Amino acid sequence: MRFSRMIFLLILLTCVVLAVAPISAQSTPETLTIYSGRGESLVGPIITLFTETTGIPVEVVYGNTAAVANQILEEGANSPADVYYGQDAGALGALAKADMLATLPAEIVDQVAPAFRSPDGLWVGTSARARVLVYNPALVEELGLELPASILDLTDPVYKGLVGWAPENASFQAQVTALRVLLGEEAAAQWLADMVANETVGFGSNNTNLYLAVANGEIPMGISNHYYMFGILADNPEAPLAHHFFPGKDPGSLINIAGAGVLATSDQPEAAQQFVAFLLSPVAQQYFTSQTYEYPVIDGIILNPLLTPLETIEVPEIDLSDLDDLQTTLTMIEESGALD
């Protein structure tokens, strides 16, 4: 509670500072169109705050991260989008690879560590998230299971029918792309096939339902992003949930980002850049760690004490900009039978 009050006061103070700052050279700003692969419940409040503090009206198109990125690719030069706000680096990379994103100003890009931004300055991470194995400690003990040392070990028959995943979710798709980059195409395809053969339980794109299934004892474990657990524990502190971080720089311990880029076809690039800059402001960064349980990507932000510090996680060595081949991953997942 003390942490929440402190964060609230910090946000309030920052809002006051932003409110008195110059907001735009336009007296009547046009509506900014944002295509968002992030859910409205997570980012709607911060987008509303952007409008309240800048006076720039916003129209948001929400959808699946990959689907929204593909929509922009299909629309091409005729896309009405000014900003793409995605759930993972893969979709952002796919847009950058297709020359759909404009270079961001250095004063925006340089705020973010190189590991969490495009090397060409075409997109920036706005928050970070860890891939984890979520598990039910009581059920794992009851079944006599050991926590796996690697995500690759989940294909072992000992875990048959006991693991959940959300193969339609963009973060899972980025995980598979990372496996392709780190292990090669054949090994990634084999892992998917072996997971399907091991009767991995699918939850579509819904990681919340995966977590609830673990908490309710339907399955003992699942692979997902870290932050869902804390929302569930906020409602039910007794929920039997815990995180396991795969050791040894395992591919299962990928740290990915949510991020944003400005469309090269935007007719109001300054306002679009202002939105991206707002996502990196202290008020937004503090919101992400205190309200959505994500990791901030700029310095000087008070990390939510519930989160495992990033520096203690043994992450695989991978350039997030290499996750840009989204279509091959989508085809591989579909061919594996994971969506059946």
Between 1 and 93, the higher pLDDT residue: 93
d(CA 203, CA 49): 32
- Does residue 319 lie in a domain region? no
Asked if residue 16 has pLDDT above 90, the reply is no
- Does residue 316 lie in a domain region? no
* Same-domain status, 215 and 332: yes
Residue 101: give the domain boundaries.
2-127+255-310
CB 293 within 8 A of CB 231: yes
- DSSP character for 308? P
Q: How confident is residue 29, by pLDDT bands cut at 50, 70 and 90?
A: low
Q: How confident is residue 28, by pLDDT bands cut at 50, 70 and 90?
A: low
Between 14 and 258, the higher pLDDT residue: 258
Note the pLDDT of residue 263.
98
Average pLDDT on 172-188 reads 97
Q: How confident is residue 27, by pLDDT bands cut at 50, 70 and 90?
A: very low
- Does residue 95 lie in a domain region? yes
Note the pLDDT of residue 2.
40
- Does residue 58 lie in a domain region? yes
- Who's near 150: CB < 8 A, 6+ residues apart? 246, 248, 250, 251, 252
Average pLDDT on 71-100 reads 95
The string of DSSP letters for 240-263 reads --EEE--STT-GGG-EEEEEEEEB
Average pLDDT on 167-179 reads 95
* Same-domain status, 278 and 207: no
* Same-domain status, 50 and 142: no
* Same-domain status, 144 and 202: yes
- Does residue 320 lie in a domain region? no
Asked if residue 33 has pLDDT above 70, the reply is yes
Asked if residue 103 has pLDDT above 90, the reply is yes
Mean pLDDT of the residues in the chain: 92
* Same-domain status, 118 and 208: no
Q: How confident is residue 15, by pLDDT bands cut at 50, 70 and 90?
A: very low
Note the pLDDT of residue 213.
98
* Same-domain status, 329 and 181: yes
* pLDDT single digits (tens) 112-168: 999 999 999 999 999 999 999 999 999 999 999 999 999 999 999 999 999 999 999
Q: Which two tokens stand for residue 100?
A: 């759909």
Half-sphere exposure of 19 (CA within 13 A, CB side): 8
- Does residue 318 lie in a domain region? no
Determine which of 8-17, 94-103, 132-141, 144-153 has the lowest per-residue pLDDT on average. 8-17
* pLDDT single digits (tens) 285-313: 999 999 999 999 999 999 999 999 999 99
Q: Dihedral of CA 139/143/147/148: which sign?
A: negative
* Same-domain status, 116 and 184: no
- Does residue 18 lie in a domain region? yes
User: Reduced to 3 states, what is the DSSP secondary structure of residue 6?
Assistant: helix
Note the pLDDT of residue 280.
98
Note the pLDDT of residue 272.
98
Helix (H) / strand (E) containing 26: none
Half-sphere exposure of 237 (CA within 13 A, CB side): 1
* pLDDT single digits (tens) 215-251: 999 999 999 999 999 999 999 999 999 999 999 999 9
Helix (H) / strand (E) containing 326: helix 326-336
CB 262 within 8 A of CB 83: yes
* Same-domain status, 137 and 119: no
Question: CA 92, 98, 104 angle in degrees (round to 5)?
Answer: 55
* Same-domain status, 203 and 110: no
Note the pLDDT of residue 6.
46
Determine which of 24-38, 149-163, 196-210, 267-281 has the lowest per-residue pLDDT on average. 24-38
CB 53 within 8 A of CB 81: no
Asked if residue 5 has pLDDT above 80, the reply is no
* Same-domain status, 115 and 261: yes
Provide the domain count of the chain. Answer: 2
User: Reduced to 3 states, what is the DSSP secondary structure of residue 128?
Assistant: strand
Q: How confident is residue 12, by pLDDT bands cut at 50, 70 and 90?
A: very low
Asked if residue 18 has pLDDT above 50, the reply is no
Q: What is the pTM for the complete model shown?
A: 0.91
- Does residue 155 lie in a domain region? yes
> In CATH, what number is assigned to the domain containing residue 73?
3.40.190.10
Asked if residue 25 has pLDDT above 60, the reply is no
* Same-domain status, 110 and 183: no
Determine which of 19-23, 190-194, 201-205, 236-240 has the lowest per-residue pLDDT on average. 19-23
* Same-domain status, 163 and 133: yes
